[in-house]
Structure 1
Amino acid sequence: MSHIYLTRYAYPERCLDVDWHAENPEIIVVLPAHNEPDLIRSLAALEDCACSAAVSVIVMVNASAKASDQVKELNHKSYNEACQWSVNRKHNYHFIINNELPAKHAGVGLARKIGMDEAARAFDMIDKDGVILCFDADSVCEPNLLEEVLHLFSDPKVNGCSIHYEHPMSGDLDQMQYEGIINYELHLRYYIDALRFAGFPYAFQTIGSSMAARSSVYMKQGGMNRRKAGEDFYFLHKIIPLGGFYNLNTTTIYPSARVSDRVPFGTGKAIGDWMEDRLEHYMTYAPQTFLDLKQFLEQVSSCYEMTESEWGSFYDSLPNSIRSFVYKVEFMDKMKEIKVHATNHALFERRFYQWFDGFKMLKYVHHARDQFYPNTLISDAVEWLFDVLDLDSSQNALRDKLGVIRAFDRKQP
Structure 2
Amino acid sequence: DETLKKIILSGLNIGVIDASSRGNELPNKVAGVGLARKIGMDCALKLFDHSSKKKKIFICLDADCTVSKNYLTEIVDAFNNNNINCASIRYEHNIKNNDEETKAIICYEIFLRYYHLGLLFANSPYAFATIGSAMACDAESYMHIEGMNKKKAAEDFYFLEKLSKSFDIKEINNAIVYPSARKSWRVPFGTGQRVGRFLSNEKVEYLLHNPKCFEILKKYIFLLAEENNVQTIMSKAKNISLHLYKFLVDKKFIKVMDGIIKNSKTKGQIHKQKIKWFDGFKTLKLIHYLRDNVYLDINMFDALDEMFEKLNIKFETNRQKGTILSIDIQKKYLIEMRNYLYG
Task: Give the TM-score category using the shorter length.
Answer: 0.7 to 0.9
Corresponding residue number in structure 1 for 2:330: 398
Which one of 171, 187, 196 corresponds to residue 120 of structure 2? 196
Give the % identical residues: 35
Q: Structure 1, residues 303-360: CA drift from partner, whole Å, max 9, x if none?
A: 03x4x55344324323122112110893333333333444555433221111100121
Kindly indicate whether residue 153 of structure 2 is the aligned counterpart of residue 232 of structure 1: no
Kindly indicate whether residue 17 of structure 2 is the aligned counterpart of residue 96 of structure 1: yes
Which one of 163, 166, 169 corresponds to residue 92 of structure 2? 166
Corresponding residue number in structure 2 for 1:408: 340
- Normalising by structure 1, we get a TM-score of 0.74
- The residue type equivalent to 2:340 in the other structure is F
CA distance in structure 2 between the aligned counterparts of 1:85 and 1:103, rounded to whole angstroms: 35
1:138-177 matched pairs, under 5 angstroms: 138-155=64-81, 157-171=83-97, 175-177=99-101
Q: Which has the higher contact order (CA 8 A, sep 6+)?
A: 2
- The residue type equivalent to 1:88 in the other structure is L
Offset, 1:287 = 1.4
Matched-pair contact (CA < 8 Å) for 2:161–2:280: yes
Offset, 1:408 = 0.6
Q: Structure 1, residues 66-92: CA drift from partner, whole Å, max 9, x if none?
A: xxxxxxxxxxxxxxxx5x664332211
Cα root mean square deviation, aligned = 2.4
CA distance in structure 1 between the aligned counterparts of 2:64 and 2:112, rounded to whole angstroms: 19
The count of residues paired between Structure 1 and Structure 2 equals 328
CA distance in structure 1 between the aligned counterparts of 2:269 and 2:285, rounded to whole angstroms: 24
CA distance in structure 1 between the aligned counterparts of 2:336 and 2:268, rounded to whole angstroms: 33
- The residue type equivalent to 1:339 in the other structure is I
Describe the shift of the 1:97–1:400 C-alpha distance in structure 2 as closer, same or farther (beyond 3 A). Answer: same
Matched-pair contact (CA < 8 Å) for 1:282–1:378: yes
Kindly indicate whether residue 57 of structure 2 is the aligned counterpart of residue 131 of structure 1: yes
Q: Structure 1, residues 182-230: CA drift from partner, whole Å, max 9, x if none?
A: 1110110110110121121111110000000111211210211111111
Describe the shift of the 1:244–1:293 C-alpha distance in structure 2 as closer, same or farther (beyond 3 A). Answer: closer
Which one of 371, 380, 385 corresponds to residue 293 of structure 2? 371
Secondary structure of 1:199 counterpart: coil
Matched-pair contact (CA < 8 Å) for 1:260–1:268: yes
Q: Structure 1, residues 133-155: CA drift from partner, whole Å, max 9, x if none?
A: 00111111111111111122115
Matched-pair contact (CA < 8 Å) for 1:162–1:210: yes
Describe the shift of the 1:164–1:91 C-alpha distance in structure 2 as closer, same or farther (beyond 3 A). Answer: same
Secondary structure of 1:366 counterpart: helix
Matched-pair contact (CA < 8 Å) for 2:211–2:306: yes
CA distance in structure 2 between the aligned counterparts of 1:245 and 1:403, rounded to whole angstroms: 23
CA distance in structure 2 between the aligned counterparts of 1:337 and 1:329, rounded to whole angstroms: 14
Secondary structure of 2:59 counterpart: strand
- The residue type equivalent to 1:152 in the other structure is A
Corresponding residue number in structure 2 for 1:287: 211
- Which consecutive residues of structure 2, in runs of 5 or more, have no partner in the other structure? 320-328
- Larger deviation, residues 232-241 vs 328-337: 328-337
1:201-350 matched pairs, under 5 angstroms: 201-277=125-201, 281-304=205-228, 306=229, 309-327=231-249, 330-342=252-264, 345-350=267-272
Pick the structure with more strand per residue.
Answer: 1
Secondary structure of 1:232 counterpart: helix
Matched-pair contact (CA < 8 Å) for 1:112–1:224: yes
CA distance in structure 1 between the aligned counterparts of 2:335 and 2:96, rounded to whole angstroms: 13
Corresponding residue number in structure 2 for 1:32: none
Describe the shift of the 1:402–1:232 C-alpha distance in structure 2 as closer, same or farther (beyond 3 A). Answer: same
Secondary structure of 1:133 counterpart: strand
Offset, 1:296 = 1.0
